Amino acid sequence: MSGGDYIAIDWGTTNRRIYLMRADGLVVRSERDDRGVLAMSAMAYSGEFSAIRERFGAFPIIAAGMVGSSRGWREVPYCSAPIELSTLAEMVTDCGENVFLVPGVAQRVVGHADVMRGEEVQVFGALAAGLVPEDGLFCQPGTHNKWIKVSGGRIETFATAMTGELYSLLRQHSILSEMIVGEPAIGPAFSAGLKRSRAACDLVTALFSARASCLLGLMDRSEAASYVSGMLIGSDVAARNDIDGNDVFLLASGSLAALYAQAIEYAGGRTVPIDSQASFAAGIHAIWESAQ
Amino acid sequence: MSGGDYIAIDWGTTNRRIYLMRADGLVVRSERDDRGVLAMSAMAYSGEFSAIRERFGAFPIIAAGMVGSSRGWREVPYCSAPIELSTLAEMVTDCGENVFLVPGVAQRVVGHADVMRGEEVQVFGALAAGLVPEDGLFCQPGTHNKWIKVSGGRIETFATAMTGELYSLLRQHSILSEMIVGEPAIGPAFSAGLKRSRAACDLVTALFSARASCLLGLMDRSEAASYVSGMLIGSDVAARNDIDGNDVFLLASGSLAALYAQAIEYAGGRTVPIDSQASFAAGIHAIWESAQ
């Protein structure tokens, strides 16, 4: 590492975003592409680092996310939650080639075992940038939604919900496939799904009601995608017992953010949208500085 | 219809079972194969009836199950629950070729819309044969598990849980696929799944703990199939609020029956195994006689 400019990469499963960082933490420019770890072979990383340096400059690289998993370039062991930023920064690993990897975080609790790689950087960044108070609940929807509970500026506990993946499975491969057409959107069908999931803890039963409702003409097929999405997201949100009356810091954008905001509001929470790119940049810079 | 021997078919999505019935309801012989409706084209049924009559005799045929759906031979409209056997029998439809189809049952309740085709015959049969009292709860596990509530010998309400299908989706297509190896079985991992699902209403979160537990070495990969199955079946059973202290009539056999029996016992219920073939035969005969 050095005290000059550097390159930071949020390197996920399917996408990555590369940031050229000034020594003081200012983002000079950034670039997003679909060269996530699933698109890379383990052998390809050295060439990739060279290509990145050709475009961004011959700077040190610090990367977080699935690039540090067994499916990525080098497997960096998880740190254990509860964890604060300085501990995570101490565990940043020099992997050679002037490339440093941020470890993921593990929760070693029987029945609530969990892992994450990358999301912790955004959370620490939102804290470091003063975008959020030192205590709060973060929600990071996606294929896997992460709920991260922060206390005193420290990540205390977290939980991964397979909400997005279940929706994809149901849309692509299940008996509901023929009903799930178009994209889910806010409206009466999504609200009905939220309501249905909150009324009873019976997701595996509730899901089939989407099919039966269409077959019996109680619901138009154009509504099924939103209804199913409402049940899944509603079930995900309803499973948290700390939303009612509280702020939820939502690290997301676009239509998924809108759906989660609606579900959080329905559960009595207040959604505070947080910019996930700004959070990543602030987080990786705080880690970079702390690791010097 | 006539007062002599007849052929009864339990014709489902993937399998069917053909019974040669004596006029007094005795099963002379039966035969099971995999020529369910998904294996048939709509045009093939006439030839199929001829082939069946060549093997079993030139008798009238009464069939129940998905054969009466839009995916089967002829679509027979659903009857509405609550329903008693005589009403269902009145709606048996003469579809020509001396073949009669039993309608399915629909529950037209917003948020709890549901449909079934075939399961109702087994339930009415268990009642007609005196295998169960006039009030009770039936459980019919499979790709879709049916919970059927009977009161005064009448089907009152029912609910379909996509438990088996979700397990298949997770095993075949999800991020849990690599962990789910072998068949689920009763044991500590299955019990841990039951316990985990009962502790909190958070199935979409709990499922990911199977992956994290394996990654972190808290669980051996050989246990993941049973753990996931325990969470899914446990969640299915826990969603019923009428099991604790009550009998549950389980229309199933083999390993799936054993898993459900364990989950029902864990929820405080008493499992009463009921023979589903004997129930179908008794049910279709009661319908046949009532429809004369």
The predicted structure's pLDDT at residue A79? 98
For A9-38, write each residue's pLDDT tens digit. Answer: 999 988 999 999 999 999 999 999 999 998
Q: What number is the average pLDDT over the span B54-63? A: 97
Chain B neighbors of A220, CB-CB under 8 A: none
Amino acid letter, B100: F
Chain B neighbors of A203, CB-CB under 8 A: 203-204, 235, 239
Q: Is a pLDDT exceeding 90 seen at residue A3?
A: no
Contact criterion met (CB < 8 Å) for B204 and A162: yes
Contact criterion met (CB < 8 Å) for A208 and B160: yes
Amino acid letter, B81: A
CA triple A46-A38-A26, angle to 5 deg: 60
Write the ipTM.
0.94
The predicted structure's pLDDT at residue A292? 83
* Averaged pLDDT score across all residues of chain B: 96
The predicted structure's pLDDT at residue A212? 97
Q: Is the peptide bond before B184 cis (omega within 30 degrees of 0)?
A: no
CA triple B182-A110-A92, angle to 5 deg: 100
Q: What number is the average pLDDT over the span B157-176? A: 96
User: In b/e form, how buried is each residue of A105-141, taking b as 16+ CB within 10 angstroms?
Assistant: bbbbbebbbbbbbbbbbbbbbbbbbebbeeebbbbbb
Q: How far is A197 from chain B (nearest CA, A)?
A: 10
Q: What number is the average pLDDT over the span A67-86? A: 96
Q: How far is B36 from chain A (nearest CA, A)?
A: 16
* Averaged pLDDT score across all residues of chain A: 96
| CB pairs < 8 Å spanning A and B | 142
Q: What number is the average pLDDT over the span B172-179? A: 95
Contact criterion met (CB < 8 Å) for A209 and B236: no
Query: What DSSP line would sit under A128-184, residue for residue?
Result: HTTSS-SSEEEEE-SSSEEEEEEETTEEEEEEEE-HHHHHHHHHHHSTTTTT--S--
Chain A neighbors of B106, CB-CB under 8 A: 212, 216
* Pick from B165, B236, B239: CB nearest A175: B165
For B95-112, write each residue's pLDDT tens digit. Answer: 999 999 999 999 999 999
Band (B200; pLDDT cuts 50, 70, 90): confident
Q: What number is the average pLDDT over the span B267-283? A: 97
Contact criterion met (CB < 8 Å) for B165 and A172: no
Q: pTM value?
A: 0.95
Q: How far is B238 from chain A (nearest CA, A)?
A: 8
Contact criterion met (CB < 8 Å) for B144 and A208: yes
The predicted structure's pLDDT at residue A286? 98
Give the E-state strand segments of chain B in sequence order.
6-11, 16-21, 27-33, 61-65, 79-80, 93-94, 99-101, 105-107, 114-116, 136-140, 145-151, 154-161, 247-251, 270-274
SS3 content of chain B, % helix, strand, coil (to 5): 40, 25, 35
* Pick from A115, A159, A204: CB nearest B161: A204
The predicted structure's pLDDT at residue A1? 54
Contact criterion met (CB < 8 Å) for A202 and B162: no
Q: Considering chain A, what percentage of its residues have pLDDT values greater than 70?
A: 99
Q: Considering chain A, what percentage of its residues have pLDDT values greater than 90?
A: 94
> In chain B, whose CA is at the least distance from the CA of A79?
B216
* Pick from B204, B209, B239: CB nearest A112: B209
Cβ atoms of A7 and A61 within 8 Å: the answer is: yes
Q: Considering chain B, what percentage of its residues have pLDDT values greater than 90?
A: 93
Q: What number is the average pLDDT over the span A230-247? A: 96
Q: What number is the average pLDDT over the span B182-207? A: 95
Chain A neighbors of B78, CB-CB under 8 A: 216
Residue corresponding to tokens 């207040």: A270
Band (A125; pLDDT cuts 50, 70, 90): very high
Chain A neighbors of B200, CB-CB under 8 A: 239
> In chain A, whose CA is at the least distance from the CA of B202?
A239
Rounded CA gap, B13 and B6, in Å?
A: 23
* Pick from B115, B202, B213: CB nearest A239: B202
Q: Is a pLDDT exceeding 80 seen at residue B2?
A: no
Q: What number is the average pLDDT over the span B210-232? A: 97
Cβ atoms of A197 and A189 within 8 Å: the answer is: no
Phi, psi dihedral angles at B251 (to 5 degrees): -95, 80
Spacing of C-alpha B251 from chain mean position = 7
Band (B27; pLDDT cuts 50, 70, 90): very high
Token pair for B274: 């009921």
> In chain B, whose CA is at the least distance from the CA of A228?
B111
The predicted structure's pLDDT at residue B292? 84
Chain B neighbors of A201, CB-CB under 8 A: 201, 238-239
Chain B neighbors of A174, CB-CB under 8 A: 162, 165, 169
Burial class (CB in 10 A: 0-12, 13-18, 19+), A269: buried
Q: What number is the average pLDDT over the span B168-176? A: 96
The neighbouring-strand residues paired with B270 are B247
Q: Look at B14-28, B33-47, B133-147 and tell me which has the smallest mean pLDDT.
A: B33-47
Q: What number is the average pLDDT over the span A101-116? A: 97
Token pair for B154: 């009448």
* Neighbour tally for A57: CB within 10 Å: 13
Band (A43; pLDDT cuts 50, 70, 90): confident
The predicted structure's pLDDT at residue A2? 55
Q: What number is the average pLDDT over the span A114-128? A: 98
> In chain A, whose CA is at the least distance from the CA of B205?
A161
Q: Is a pLDDT exceeding 90 seen at residue A42?
A: no
Q: How far is A193 from chain B (nearest CA, A)?
A: 8
Contact criterion met (CB < 8 Å) for B173 and A170: no
* Pick from A107, A163, A173: CB nearest B173: A173
Cβ atoms of B66 and B117 within 8 Å: the answer is: yes
For A157-189, write each residue's pLDDT tens digit. Answer: 999 999 999 999 999 999 999 999 999 999 999
